[in-house]
Structure 1
Amino acid sequence: MKTLSDKLLGGKQGVLGLALLALLILVILPLGLDIFRLNLVGKYLTYAFVALSLVLLWGNGGILSLGQGMFFGLGGYCMAMFLKLEASDPISTKIQTTPGIPDFMDWNQLTALPWFWEPFKSLPFTILAILIVPTIFAYIIGFAMFKRRVGGVYFAIITQAIALILSILIVGQQGYTGGVNGITDLKTMLGWDIRTDSAKYILYYVNAILLFGCIFLSRYILTSKFGMLLLAMRDKEERVRFSGYDVSDFKIFTFCVAAMISAIGGAMFTLQVGFMSPSFVGIVPSIEMVIFAAVGGRMSLIGAVYGTLLVNYGKTVFSETYPELWLFLMGGLFIAVVMFFPDGLAGIYQKHARKIPFLKRWVAEEKQKQTDAHASHGKVGTKLGAEA
């Protein structure tokens, strides 16, 4: 039986991977980069939350969602609403026709704060909303889809369509959401100026700690009995269903957890960048987030973080040099990874780690664990069927 530390750390190889990642994120990058570049890396790490959620959902659950950007955006908008209300106090907005409401509401001739904005004056409520609102939205989508056994490419297309609808809705409701410009000019949180260099350093480390917390949570889920059944469901869904398990409930739960993790990343994005717009909710960002997970390795939580950093660094470099070709490069990268490196960076690491003496034994142990896990998955249906 695995101990709690094994579930959270992933054994010896997991400890090594986490230590290297922590060294890079917490020590090397802060010491080697100026505050502008470090804040840029912090923005990349907010996308890594979505990549982690896709490792759970797609890599281990076999559920490809092309709409994770909507949960990222919902979390970001919840945080942006709180920050915007703080920046829209009557003194700061005294030149408006209606002081005390966000500027974009005043421009659109609203004369009072909408009722659904009122609770976001409270930070505790905002934090709960960041976690609960995307989760409820994911539950509604998941219940409607999975209870009717909608999956595969159909589910992927539907999530893509919902992301598009949500982004159009946000743009259309300009008086309530800021429209195409989004919610901007975010300055303070409880009086603390989030634009200063010291604040950016603090937010970078808070973001990193939350990211590692989500990695630990994901590992705990994947190494539990639920994780074993999740893999079995991905490989042999009908066998799991005939063994007496409600597959739809597993899918709904995983989809909801993935939505919550994505929303945390969106909230941290708003804090670090200082705005949130519908451009992070639609189809293009959602597909990019899938590419982050694919490049890093859709079965590897740590690989997803490296994949996010690598792809976004490449995006920054190539978009500056070839701005009109970036989307083609992104699509070509995704095709190349799927065809030639299906396990992503994590697969390349495991392949070459065998050549390093002190890693050889650890890789062999990890391979044996995976083999044992797959053997267990195959026995789940047989064992329960015999008991029945």
Structure 2
Amino acid sequence: MRSQLFSRPAWAGILVIAVLAASLPLLHLAFPAGHTLHVSSYAIAIIAKFMCYALAAMALDLVWGYTGILSLGHGVFFALGAYAHGMYLMRAIGREGVYQSDLPDFMVFLDWKTYPWYWSLTEHFWYCMLLVVMVPGILAFVFGYFAFRSRIKGVYFSIITQAMTFAFMLLFFRNNTGFGGNNGFTDFKRILGFSLTEPLTKAVLYLVTLSVLLASLMLCRWIVSSKLGRVLQAVRDSESRLMFIGYDPLWFKLFVWTLSAVLCGIAGALYVPQVGMINPSEMSPANSIEMVIWAAVGGRGTLLGPVIGAFTVNGLKSWFTAAFPDLWLYALGLLFILVTLFMQQGILGLISQLKKPKEIV
């Protein structure tokens, strides 16, 4: 008998939260500033950003929490998806840049005369959306194939994923790569002909992000609750025993690794028009490590936990960087240590323990 995706209380909670989240941009549009029910544009922007982070954390949980593959390089997939969408957004600026050229300002500044070949067709939205999926997916497939075929696992795999994202960060920092160097892409004007500064456009982007997050949650939950999901968990728990009974873990790991990278790329693509910029710092190893912390704090191996963790940690980050800007990294490190020592199942695990009836001695 096939298990249901979520329990009834979980479905009820997801539905309530989804409805409340979907109502926020509507309240922003319906009521003027100063009204009791008005939701500020800042709140809309930051919640949308957190939802992108939540999607990335959930994608990481798919490979770490359910398959036991700890990646310290998922930031590169997030950034590549953002850059792929950013190429379209840069082309959509047209002649409204500082230099009033058909080329982006950074190319004019570097005295480039034409677009590089890999910018071909990027004026088309559909093509860039294809790149959002294909670029992280192909990189993950090729990288994962050679890594998994070589039986690289554990801390060694984590190290090479961190080396990968660091190498890409250094590459994208170079001006001659055609991706804006250390400044990256910025000053976006419109998407599909609609101004990015318009409240309605921001509301639509917010609702699209929410829809993708919910759809990805359902997809990932369907995968982990299926026979495929049980094989993935067997890879995590005892890969050698799985091989003994006739399964080849390579293709299972490669599938979930590639899917996770694609979801991370989609998260990056949703992130860039709402934040308004993308630069190589998004590929820094520290960003990938933060994704791991989001999943750990929320509760890895739960899918919902990383979503909670992404909102919790980034909410704390927003407050800390405003109130105590010099102390955030110390607070983040302390949080990770406390979770590792005392809350190994994260926030969701703690909630589950509190809900269990205490044994009567």
Query: TM over 0.5: same fold?
Result: yes
Q: Hey, what does 1:56 align to over in structure 2?
A: 62
| Cα deviation, residue 94, structure 1 | 8.7
Cα distance in 2 for partners of 1:105, 1:11 equals 53
- Are the aligned partners of 1:54 and 1:298 in contact in 2 as well (CA < 8 Å)? no
- Are the aligned partners of 1:53 and 1:261 in contact in 2 as well (CA < 8 Å)? yes
Cα distance in 1 for partners of 2:356, 2:24 equals 26
* Counterparts in 2 of 1:286 and 1:191: CA distance versus 1, 3 Å: same
Instruction: State the Cα deviation string for residues 54-105 of structure 1 (Å, max 9, x = none).
Output: 2111001000000100000000000000010110x2x435945xx3111101
- Please tell me whether residue 19 in structure 1 is matched to residue 15 in structure 2: yes
Q: Hey, what does 2:191 align to over in structure 1?
A: 189
| Cα deviation, residue 27, structure 1 | 3.5
Cα distance in 2 for partners of 1:41, 1:50 equals 14
Q: Hey, what does 1:92 align to over in structure 2?
A: 96
Instruction: State the Cα deviation string for residues 233-272 of structure 1 (Å, max 9, x = none).
Output: 1111100011111111111111101001111110000121
Cα distance in 2 for partners of 1:112, 1:308 equals 41
- Please tell me whether residue 77 in structure 1 is matched to residue 83 in structure 2: yes
Cα distance in 1 for partners of 2:154, 2:67 equals 11
RMSD: 1.8
Q: Hey, what does 1:132 align to over in structure 2?
A: 134
TM-score normalized with structure 2 length: 0.92
- How much identity, in percent, do the aligned residues show? 37
Cα distance in 1 for partners of 2:233, 2:97 equals 54
SS in 1 for 2:259: helix
1:238 to 231, 237, 240: 240
2:281 to 279, 282, 291: 279
Long gaps (5+) in structure 1: 356-388
- Are the aligned partners of 2:168 and 2:283 in contact in 1 as well (CA < 8 Å)? yes
| Cα deviation, residue 302, structure 1 | 1.5
- Are the aligned partners of 2:99 and 2:108 in contact in 1 as well (CA < 8 Å)? no
SS in 2 for 1:236: helix
User: Structure 1 residue runs of 4+, over 3 Å off?
Assistant: 27-33, 93-96
Cα distance in 1 for partners of 2:355, 2:174 equals 51
- Please tell me whether residue 256 in structure 1 is matched to residue 258 in structure 2: yes
- Are the aligned partners of 2:88 and 2:125 in contact in 1 as well (CA < 8 Å)? yes
| Cα deviation, residue 29, structure 1 | 8.3
SS in 2 for 1:121: coil
| Cα deviation, residue 202, structure 1 | 1.4
Cα distance in 1 for partners of 2:188, 2:64 equals 34
Cα distance in 1 for partners of 2:214, 2:157 equals 29
SS in 2 for 1:245: coil
Tell me which moved more, 138-147 or 13-22. Answer: 13-22
1:43 to 49, 62, 65: 49
Cα distance in 2 for partners of 1:302, 1:20 equals 14
* Counterparts in 2 of 1:94 and 1:164: CA distance versus 1, 3 Å: closer
> Residues 103-114 of structure 1 correspond to what in structure 2 (within 5 A)?
103-114=105-116
| Cα deviation, residue 121, structure 1 | 1.2
| Cα deviation, residue 128, structure 1 | 1.0
Instruction: State the Cα deviation string for residues 106-131 of structure 1 (Å, max 9, x = none).
Output: 11111111110112111111111111
| Cα deviation, residue 24, structure 1 | 4.3
> Residues 163-182 of structure 1 correspond to what in structure 2 (within 5 A)?
163-174=165-176, 176-182=178-184
Cα distance in 1 for partners of 2:280, 2:98 equals 28
SS in 2 for 1:66: coil
Q: Hey, what does 1:65 align to over in structure 2?
A: 71
- Are the aligned partners of 2:24 and 2:44 in contact in 1 as well (CA < 8 Å)? no
